[in-house]
Amino acid sequence: MFAEFRKFVMRGNVLDLAVAVIIGAAFATITKSLTDDIIMPVVGWIFGGFDFSSYFIRLGPVPEGYHGSLSNYAALKEAGVPLFGYGKFATTLINFLILAFIVFLIVRAVNRMLAAFEEQKPELPAAEPTDVVLLREIRDELRKRPAE
């Protein structure tokens, strides 16, 4: 059973998938930083200096011992206050759209490269059907026989 598992894991598709997941996770971190540190501050500045991640609605009471800010989403969430964090969701949605657009651009570029490669590939003549080849051989053999 171990040998069968090892054979399964060592197949190319599984290794390719593992590499893709690792690179995808690293790429997602870069995209998250791009969204959180570059795009969302600019969007917030355009819309009046607000950070989207701080937009939320409190759905429950604040605990008695809480002494932090009532407008700090992260602190309220850590204190266990039920929150409807639509700003955080908007940030995550924008992050997804950016990631999806970048993946679209990559796939589009790869498809164009593959299409260009296919155009440069020389056309090979189609192989003749076997029945035509066989009939031609019979005809040639008949021509070799002396006339009776």
User: Tell me, what's the pLDDT at 50?
Assistant: 58
pLDDT (tens, 9 = 90+) of the chain, 148 residues, equals: 878 877 776 676 777 788 888 988 888 888 888 877 887 778 777 766 656 777 888 988 888 888 888 888 888 888 888 999 888 888 788 778 877 888 788 889 989 998 888 888 777 777 888 888 899 999 998 888 876 6
Q: Residue ranges of the domains in the chain? A: 2-144
CB 53 within 8 Å of CB 91 = yes
User: Tell me, what's the pLDDT at 49?
Assistant: 61
Dihedral angle computed from the Cα positions of residues 92, 95, 99 and 101, in that order, rounded to the nearest 10 degrees: 110
Domain 2-144 part of CATH 1.10.1200.120: yes
User: Tell me, what's the pLDDT at 126?
Assistant: 79
User: Tell me, what's the pLDDT at 112?
Assistant: 93
Helix axes 12-33, 86-120, angle to 10 degrees: 130
User: Tell me, what's the pLDDT at 13?
Assistant: 74
User: Tell me, what's the pLDDT at 51?
Assistant: 61
Give the helix/strand (H/E) hosting 74: helix 73-78
pTM: 0.53
User: Tell me, what's the pLDDT at 109?
Assistant: 92
